Amino acid sequence: MLKNIADILENERSRWFCWFPVLFGLGIGIYFSLPSEPSQWFTLAVVELLLVAAFAVRHYPFLLRIVGVMSIITAGFVDVQLQTLYLEKKLPPPASGDVYIRGQIMSHDTNYRGKPRIVLGNMEDLEGTVIQGKYRLTLLQKVSDIKVGKCVELVAEVAPVMKANLVGGYQPDRRLFYDGINGSGYVLSGVFEIDCPRELNWLVRNIDEWRGVITERISSQLPPKEAAIAAAIVTGNRELMTMQQIENYRDSGLAHFLSISGLHISMIAGLMFFAVRLLMACIPQLGLRYNSKKIAALSALAVSTIYLMISGGAVPTQRAYIMMFMVLTAVWFERQAISMRVLAWAAMIILFFSPQMLINISFQLSFAAVIALVAFYEKFGGRLESFLYGKHLNIVMRIGRGVCAYLLGIVIADLVASMATLPFAIYHFNRIALYTSITNLLSGPIIAFWIMPAILLTLLLLPLGMMSVPLWVAGKGIAVINEITTRVAEMPHSVAEICSFPLWGLLLIVGGGLWLCIWQTKWRNAGWIFILCGCLSLMFVRVPDIIAGDGGKAMARRNEWGKIQVFSGGNKWMKQNWLEKFASANAPQQDNLQAPDLKNIDFDEVIGVSIYGDEVYTVRDYIGRRPWNR
């Protein structure tokens, strides 16, 4: 048995590296799953033990590989623990209550209600005492001039960031901890500009200023609805979008178009690549003297870099850029451009420098989609090329097959990516867009041949002040996409609500999917077993009889239809989170349910509770005591 496994692994030697980021991520996941912070001395002992074990079995290849696997897992664990220890010293609990603050704007965005929000750093109080960390503050009054790097003074109501509010639910404090944010609240006064004792990095300040200028130009030259989408896909700024637009794109299955990721980077880079090659082919003196493919790769990389900077550099954009950088580098060195190995390098780079990205929704969705697409391409790419470039085909037949392959490719790519991201969409968002294939089939050609070429021209002509015409062309295409998303979102049953997978079910699906996509021999099919078992975990989902949080002010209970119904009072965002988690956002409501009496529960200690009959589970039991939630 062991010999058979060893033989199979030897045949899969070329894929071993692809498991490196998976094992590294496993170590990160183990760290986050612990109920309390592990001792750094214990971690050091494990590292030393592995070094001794590696020396002891150095003459036994099979055992040495096992030690190597354990070492990679431990490396992921050590990486995230070191970053946590560093942040823990920098992020003490904030002073609660009304606080006078002088600080520097590090970033700005909007909250879920569309209100402007700033992140302040380099802070001090009225007496000049340094305030460590960063505060994320929502503005109650409209401020016209918010710029990164600007120093301001204000009065804010500050409190520690919100902790997890549901057993097995989202942990906002953990995400903000790794963003360096240790306080949140509301600005009670005006925001007054003051002189800065220190300046932010020149590039950071100017990139934000460029993004602001581009957004202003877009909003001044396009109608509001088109400008909102154009700003989202060019500068990553969604502040112009209405909630209705966001819901339409989400419910129609085109929300990925609003997140600058592989779709946008690949199209921008691809269009630039082929445009440069075409231009050089039209000028024989250039085409014959220089390598057009390498020059096109450099041009595409330059445009992608500029796009990364003005887009805000979100996680999907970083992942897409790293992959595009490696693909274009492979083109330069005449190597295979698209491979699982390139994707593994991209994942490893992101996880090494930002291990917390493992639990980031954007990271999970983007990598799940791309891994599935690359695996599908590896399996069926050769057949597609044979279909397109078969022998004895004239130019008309090739064009016809190319058009058919493109349209079929949109449907297949959407199906593959949708199936790969579906478990994460269920776990995090509890919603499924049922007509996503229709939306992508209708919008795919418009995005590829109309909007993105116009966006590329807009970026190229922007420094010359000649962006008006291509931006107008892009706006017309965006208007069509807006209409498509509106019509699809308004179709009956366009969205289905579903309860979240248990975490163990999601992990089974992820493990099975990786096994299926990374390996290439027949034993890869064993991944389907794990995927099936993970899907069946939905049968074990239990809806709590009672949920309570926010100091006992926010409450909900299960009604006679098995859905969650919330009571008045308490944090609205928290209660909406509960409804979505248990697929109850659109459930029929009753007004005659009696709120439970939970006066004996110490919410300061347990944070929140979920009650199943006589069983009481607390949020504190779920999240443990870690540096981000103490």
* The CA-based dihedral angle spanning residues 407, 410, 411, 412, taken in that order and rounded to the nearest 10 degrees: 110
Whether residues 519 and 547 share a domain: the answer is no
CATH number of 145's domain = 2.40.50
Last residue of a domain, one of 497, 512, 528: 497
Q: Is residue 207 part of a domain?
A: no
Whether residues 467 and 379 share a domain: the answer is yes
Q: How confident is the model at residue 533 (pLDDT cuts 50, 70, 90)?
A: very high
Whether residues 385 and 473 share a domain: the answer is yes
Tokens linked to 553: 């002010």
pLDDT tens-place string over residues 389-402: 555 666 666 667 66
Report pLDDT for 443: 86
Enumerate long-range contacts of 325-332, CB under 8 Å, 24 or more apart.
Answer: 325/301, 328/269, 328/273, 328/297, 328/298, 328/300, 328/301, 328/304, 329/297, 331/293, 331/294, 331/297, 332/294, 332/297, 332/298
Highest mean pLDDT among 14-18, 440-444, 587-591: 14-18
Q: Is residue 434 part of a domain?
A: yes
* Closest residue by Cα to residue 91 from 184, 185, 201, 171: 184
By residue range, what is the domain housing residue 551?
A: 541-623
Give the 3-state DSSP-derived string for 587-616, with helices as H, strands as E and coil as C.
CCCCCCCCCCCCCCCCHHHHCCEEEECCEE
Q: How confident is the model at residue 19 (pLDDT cuts 50, 70, 90)?
A: very high
Report pLDDT for 516: 93
Q: Is residue 131 part of a domain?
A: yes
Cβ(593)–Cβ(559) below 8 Å = yes
Report pLDDT for 73: 96
123 sits in which H/E element: strand 116-124
Report pLDDT for 590: 56
Q: What is the bridge-based pairing of β-strands 554-558 and 546-549?
A: antiparallel
Residue 231 has pLDDT above 60, yes or no: yes
Q: Which residue has the higher pLDDT, 511 or 12?
A: 511
Residue 476 has pLDDT above 90, yes or no: yes
Q: Is residue 303 part of a domain?
A: yes
* Closest residue by Cα to residue 37 from 135, 174, 169: 174
Q: Is residue 227 part of a domain?
A: no
Last residue of a domain, one of 489, 520, 539: 539
Q: Is residue 218 part of a domain?
A: no
Q: What percent of the chain has pLDDT over 70?
A: 90
pLDDT tens-place string over residues 320-376: 788 788 878 877 777 766 678 888 888 898 899 989 989 988 888 888 888 998 898
Whether residues 112 and 180 share a domain: the answer is yes
Q: Once rounded to an integer, what is the mean pLDDT over residues 179-201?
A: 85
Whether residues 350 and 265 share a domain: the answer is yes
pLDDT tens-place string over residues 24-66: 999 999 999 998 899 999 999 999 999 999 999 999 888 898 9
Domain count across the chain: 5
Whether residues 359 and 448 share a domain: the answer is yes
Whether residues 173 and 111 share a domain: the answer is yes
Residue 382 has pLDDT above 90, yes or no: no
Whether residues 529 and 593 share a domain: the answer is no
Q: Is residue 225 part of a domain?
A: no
DSSP-assigned letter for residue 8: H
